[in-house]
Amino acid sequence: MPLAGNLRQYALTDVLRMIEHGQRSGALTLARGNRQAIVYFSGGQWLLAERVGATASLAHQLAAAGYISPEQFEAVLGMPFGQAAAIPDMQMVRALINARLLSQEQLRAFTQQDAVALLTVLLSWPDGDFIFEDEVRLPPGRVALPLPVSSLVTQALQQVRVTMPPREVTPLAPEMVIEFADVDPDSGMAIQLTREQWRFLTAVDGTSPLWSIIQTLNAPEPAILRLAAELVASGVLTISKRAAQI
């Protein structure tokens, strides 16, 4: 069954849950502006994530995380560290493991940390297109370790609570206009949204006052005003300058 849409209508956590529970294999592509990520799955498990346009090789990422050093890479692979991207990831990892400079446990820890870091960014996107394509295979030569999706999501949401300080919730009035705030996807912050909040976001267009959204959703005014205030406080939405003109 095709799985595609926009993150305004579908929470990323729900999309990942459908992939995991459906034990689906393929690739989930997410795009927002000029930012794009591709996550590969097998049997509902997270295999590999790619940040499209990123230039750092796996060797450089492992070195930046402190798992190996450039000198160790050069001693084992017999090539300059600056040319690490020229060798397939699988070949590089096998050589480092055989030389006992990298363990399977360290590789798994790095892979899990990288997946959680990407998820905290993706969960911060207030919108963005996504599509899941079944049976898309991993690029050749890449290293993939199966990871449970639910565990990664839980860790990412825990990271949100650590990195995001609470904000004061300011009451809003029905005549106010709200719009999506500018969110930096590289900030590393994510926001956990409820189903009610996601439904509310589908009615936000940046021009309609809150009383109009109340009519559109056919919901009680206090509930809608509460949701709007929570989302403004979380940084997902902001009060439009047009509100002062109403």
d(CA 72, CA 103): 14
* pTM for the predicted model, two decimal places: 0.65
140-149, 160-169, 229-238: the lowest-pLDDT one:
160-169
For residue 242, the model assigns a pLDDT of: 55
Work out whether the CA dihedral 45, 48, 51, 53 comes out positive or negative. negative
d(CA 213, CA 201): 10
Tell me if 158 sits within 8 A of 152, measured CB to CB. no
Tell me if 214 sits within 8 A of 224, measured CB to CB. yes
pLDDT digits (tens, 9 = 90+) for 7-25: 888 888 888 989 999 999 9
SS3 content of the chain, % helix, strand, coil (to 5): 45, 15, 40
pLDDT digits (tens, 9 = 90+) for 228-244: 888 887 778 888 755 54
Neighbours of 125 (CB within 10 A): 22
